[in-house]
Amino acid sequence: MKVYITILLALVISTCCNAYDSLIMQTNGLDKNISISLVADGISIPWAMVQLPSDEILISERKGELRVIKNGRLLSKRITGLPLIHSNGQGGLLDLKLHPDFLKNQWIYFTYASKDGKSSGSNTALMRATLNISNLSLTDQKLLYKAQPNSKKGQHYGGRIVFDDKGFIFFSIGDRGQRNVNPQDLSKDGGKIYRLHDDGKVPSDNPFSDQDGFKSAIFSYGHRNPQGISIDPRTKNIWSHEHGPRGGDEVNIIKKAINYGWPEISYGINYNGTKFTDKTEDSKMAQPVLYWTPSIAPSGMIYVSSDKYPLLQGKFLVGSMKFDHLVLLTIEGEQVLSQEKVFEDIGRTRSLLQGKDGYIYVGIDGVGIKRLIPE
């Protein structure tokens, strides 16, 4: 399959709320001789992927299974020891991350839809467990965070996870389809990005840790449904993207105590075409660094460091579930300088992984896992 580059038009806005003129997206001469091969099929919704030091690739199947690719083959046996997972709408088994010191402690972290709690329905939970890859099992499970209360709604679980260079774990929980209740209320879970120590304790310098009635794990708020988080290794900035409604998908730099505006400000509208706000800016709320109108339904986000793809190297890749392509973002400091549509027709991309072998792996709904191979 050949790679085609299409010039896009985008509006880039800095986090300082300084509006820039629209930028024409320039092609960068990306080598078209990149083939796309199928690594494993039989996975319906590959929500996330991680690779172990021993080379196995783990895939979270949203319906509640943890799968393994070993020596290039998808094993029929699933990893056991997962908690009860509520496979419901957009909920199920979500993101996966290895502890930075995985070789020593064998800890794996994952988010999932959990029914735990007094109310019916479910909400996003974060769990740590010890991975025993030799017998494909999880043990010593420890629930680190469970959003409350549960909701019967089946959308906006968020669930993306990232570790920063200081060992803090960040994870997202979407607004759970309750935009007028959760995102702007610091006493409620939902529509937030959270920060914890690796054992689940709340850092003492979290912005709301000493305020009565507030959720002390909150790091930032005013989000809709963040499903991509990645760290720029050059600047240590935490970049996130989130789904808007009809238009208004956003790319943001996640900063402490910042309100990102949902649903008070937005570049999107309701799915039926009506407005839910007349405001796109507010002096007390951050502007997105980049937004997409129409929505691309972003999912998955990685920084490309591999020298196998010289013209992707040092840039970010984002999946588009709506348009079946990837988006290549050129980022410098706190600005998105350009974006390019690449790998058109690759499929409904759900997850991305740069493997230890330097190749990029793409999880595609209804297909499985594909690999990008420079020829």
The per-residue pLDDT for range 56-77, each reduced to its tens digit, is 999 999 999 999 999 999 999 9
pTM: 0.93
Q: Dig out the tokens for 355 from the structure.
A: 């493997």
Neighbours of 14 (CB within 10 A): 17
Q: Which residue has the tokens 């965070």?
A: 145
pLDDT at 3: 35
Decide if pLDDT at 2 tops 80.
Answer: no
Q: Dig out the tokens for 106 from the structure.
A: 């064998």
Decide if pLDDT at 235 tops 50.
Answer: yes
Average pLDDT on 245-269 reads: 97
> How long, in residues, is the chain?
375
Q: In sequence order, what E strands does 181-332 have? A: 192-196, 218-221, 226-231, 238-242, 249-253, 290-292, 298-304, 315-320, 325-332
Q: Dig out the tokens for 197 from the structure.
A: 């120590």
Binned at pLDDT 50, 70 and 90, residue 13 comes out as very low
> How confident is the model over 176-207, as pLDDT tens digits?
999 999 999 999 999 999 999 999 999 999 99
DSSP string of 124-139, one letter each residue: EEEEEEEEETTTTEEE
Do residues 239 and 331 make contact, with C-beta atoms less than 8 angstroms apart? yes
Cα 51 from chain centroid (whole Å): 17
Decide if pLDDT at 241 tops 60.
Answer: yes
| 318 located within any domain | yes
Task: Indicate which CATH number applies to the domain containing 244.
Answer: 2.120.10.30
Neighbours of 54 (CB within 10 A): 10
Q: Dig out the tokens for 158 from the structure.
A: 């968020």
pLDDT at 23: 34
Q: Which residue has the tokens 């840039």?
A: 315
Catalytic positions are 156
Phi then psi for 104, rounded to 5 degrees? -90, -45
Report the domain count for the chain.
1
Q: Dig out the tokens for 243 from the structure.
A: 């789904």
| 334 located within any domain | yes
| 1 located within any domain | no
pLDDT at 30: 64
| 222 located within any domain | yes
| 115 located within any domain | yes
Decide if pLDDT at 11 tops 50.
Answer: no
Q: Domain of 286?
A: 6-374
Do residues 78 and 136 make contact, with C-beta atoms less than 8 angstroms apart? yes
Residue 104 DSSP symbol: H
- First vs last Cα of the chain: how many Å apart? 11
Distance CA 173, CA 175 (A): 7
Neighbours of 70 (CB within 10 A): 14
Neighbours of 80 (CB within 10 A): 12
Decide if pLDDT at 340 tops 80.
Answer: yes
Is 213 exposed, middle or buried (CB count within 10 Å of its CB: 0-12, 13-18, 19+)? Answer: exposed
pLDDT at 34: 86
pLDDT at 161: 98
Distance CA 329, CA 317 (A): 6
pLDDT at 307: 95
The helix/strand/coil state of 102 is helix
Do residues 229 and 161 make contact, with C-beta atoms less than 8 angstroms apart? yes
| 113 located within any domain | yes
